[in-house]
Amino acid sequence: MLDVRSFGADDEAMTHTWRELAVFADRASAEVLAGLLRSEGVDVRVVLDEPVPGLVKSCTVLVLATQWAHAQRICSQAPLTEEEWARYIGQSGKGHKQQ
């Protein structure tokens, strides 16, 4: 017999679990991806590794674990090539690393 309470608890925990989707060297790149995902209805968080105010080491884009596969599909179908990403953010494109 299925214990609905325990199933619901696991489901509840899963809906509040965030999973890393991509890591960028700069905030602008992370925000571009976050904006794309938000426009598709994906819940997104951008987390900065900023040991000292103003010194950003990396920016991590997180999505809900329940939406991770959907977010990956969006990224894989994104209309921007690596060169377009680089041009858009004014970088060399090496700051973008997808998981």
CATH of the domain at 23: 3.30.70.790
Q: Is residue 11 part of a domain?
A: no
- Supply the pLDDT for residue 15: 61
53 belongs to a structural domain: yes
Host domain of residue 91: 16-98
CA separation, residue 6 to residues 1, 11, 12, 13, 87 (Å):
12, 9, 10, 11, 49
Would you call 78 helix, strand, or coil by DSSP? Answer: coil
Q: Is residue 72 part of a domain?
A: yes
Question: Into how many domains does the chain fold?
Answer: 1
Task: Look at residue 6 in the predicted model and tell me its pLDDT.
Answer: 37
Mean pLDDT across the chain: 77
Domain assignment present for 54 = yes
Q: Which amino acid is at 85?
A: W
What's the CA dihedral at 6, 11, 15, 19 to 10 degrees? 100
Q: Give me the pLDDT at residue 20, please.
A: 95
Let me know if residue 2 belongs to a domain: no
